[in-house]
Amino acid sequence: MSSGQNLGYAALILLALALIGTGIWRQERSANPGQTAAQNEALTASLVENASIQPTIESRLGSVVLAGGVYDWKSADASGKVGLFGDYLAFGDLTGGGQTDAAAVIYETNGGHGAYYSVIALKNENGKAVFAGTAYLGEDVQIKSLSIENGDIAVDYLTQRKDDFIVKPTLEVKEKYKLTAYGLELQ
């Protein structure tokens, strides 16, 4: 091998290192083969707090976009809020696609005395929280826990027995919901 060939190889190696260093020549790395880095981005609390969701009780509102976890609304005859309830957020794979999806408890008020609670599912679509379904839990229920277990949303809460005061529920309910093409279905 001549010194000219050695210089040619050295120049190619330096060029390749320069391209790699600047990011021009880089292989996209992915935890899931065939997916881009954006598709692998996990949902975060911040993404959920600013997601577009569909209220359960106030469905006339259509889709609403949360700002910091809350959406305030007014109409000619009422006003209220839709928002994330406390720290009841859970993260895990709801679709079997290897993505980190999310579940949350939301509350809705409409100027009346109570609050209405639902559990919602948010799919991870290219790193964005996309509303996928909702299930109504009840009025003035007390949430005890929310988790994602084996692809299902598990929620534990207290609701009213026949003789309970509305604000003092005592009946413990444990439910699991599966995200399907039709939304959340009780298991």
- What is the block-wise mean pLDDT of the chain (187 residues), using blocks of 10 residues? 57 48 37 46 93 89 94 88 95 95 96 89 96 96 97 97 90 97 96
Q: What is the pLDDT of residue 19?
A: 43
Neighbours of 179 (CB within 10 A): 22
Tell me how far apart the alpha carbons of residues 113 and 118 are, in angstroms, rounded to a whole number: 17
Q: What is the pLDDT of residue 5?
A: 58
Q: What is the pLDDT of residue 20?
A: 45
Tell me how far apart the alpha carbons of residues 145 and 174 are, in angstroms, rounded to a whole number: 9
Neighbours of 116 (CB within 10 A): 22
Indicate the DSSP class of residue 161. Answer: -
At 51, list the tokens: 């997601």
Instruction: Give the global pTM.
Output: 0.77
Q: What is the pLDDT of residue 125?
A: 95
Q: What is the pLDDT of residue 4?
A: 57
Q: What is the pLDDT of residue 94?
A: 97
DSSP result, 60-103: GG-SEE-BTTEEEEE-SS-EEEEEEEEEEEEEE-SSSSS--EEE
